[in-house]
Amino acid sequence: MSAPLLSLRGMTKGYGPVKANQAIDLDVAPNSIHAILGENGAGKSTLMKLIYGVEAPDAGEVFWNGAPVHLHSPGEARRLGIGMVFQHFSLFETLTVVENISLIVAGTKATLAARIRELGRDFGLEVDPFAEVHALSVGERQRVEIIRCLMTEPKLLILDEPTSVLPPQAVGLLFETLRRLRDRGVSILFISHKLDEIQAICDRATILRAGRVTGNVDPREHDAHDLARMMIGRDMPPPLHPDPVEPGEVRLELSGLDHAPDDPFGVALQGVSLSLRAGEVLGIAGISGNGQSELSRLISGEVRLSEARRDDVRMLGQGVGHLGPGARRALGFAFVPEERLGRGAVPEMTLSDNSLLTAHGQGMLRRGFIDRVREAEFTAACIRDFDVRTPGPEAEAGALSGGNLQKFIMGREISLRPKVLFVAQPTWGVDVGAAAAIRQRLVAMRNEGVAVLVISEELEELFEVCDRIQVMHKGHLSASLDARTTRAEEIGRLMIGADGVAA
**With respect to another protein, which residue has the nearer C-beta, 300 or 406?**
300
Half-sphere exposure in the Cβ direction for 229 (13 Å, CA)? 6
User: Rounded CA gap, 190 and 397, in Å?
Assistant: 28
**With respect to another protein, which residue has the nearer C-beta, 58 or 132?**
58
The least distance separating another protein from the CB of residue 62, rounded to whole angstroms, comes to: 7
The least distance separating another protein from the CB of residue 33, rounded to whole angstroms, comes to: 27
**With respect to another protein, which residue has the nearer C-beta, 249 or 339?**
339
**With respect to another protein, which residue has the nearer C-beta, 69 or 95?**
69
The least distance separating another protein from the CB of residue 470, rounded to whole angstroms, comes to: 24
The least distance separating another protein from the CB of residue 397, rounded to whole angstroms, comes to: 10
| Contact status, residue 413 vs residue 442, Cβ threshold 8 Å | no
Q: Where are the extended beta strands (E) located within 278-381? A: 281-285, 313-315, 318-319, 333-336, 365-366, 369-370
The least distance separating another protein from the CB of residue 339, rounded to whole angstroms, comes to: 7
Residues near another protein (CB under 8 A) are: 15-16, 56-62, 70-72, 300-302, 324-329, 335, 337, 339, 342-349, 353, 356-358, 360, 365, 368-370
**With respect to another protein, which residue has the nearer C-beta, 172 or 342?**
342
User: Rounded CA gap, 49 and 395, in Å?
Assistant: 23
The least distance separating another protein from the CB of residue 424, rounded to whole angstroms, comes to: 11
Distances, alpha carbon 119 to alpha carbons 82, 375, 376, in Å: 18, 55, 55
The least distance separating another protein from the CB of residue 78, rounded to whole angstroms, comes to: 16
Distances, alpha carbon 4 to alpha carbons 7, 287, 446, in Å: 6, 38, 51
| Contact status, residue 158 vs residue 52, Cβ threshold 8 Å | yes
| Contact status, residue 11 vs residue 47, Cβ threshold 8 Å | yes
The least distance separating another protein from the CB of residue 53, rounded to whole angstroms, comes to: 10
**With respect to another protein, which residue has the nearer C-beta, 184 or 372?**
372
Cα 269 to chain centroid, rounded: 23
**With respect to another protein, which residue has the nearer C-beta, 17 or 238?**
17
Q: Which among 50, 34, 140, 46 has a CA at the least distance from the CA of 91?
A: 140
**With respect to another protein, which residue has the nearer C-beta, 349 or 496?**
349
| Contact status, residue 160 vs residue 133, Cβ threshold 8 Å | no
What phi, psi does 275 have (nearest 5°)?
A: -145, 120
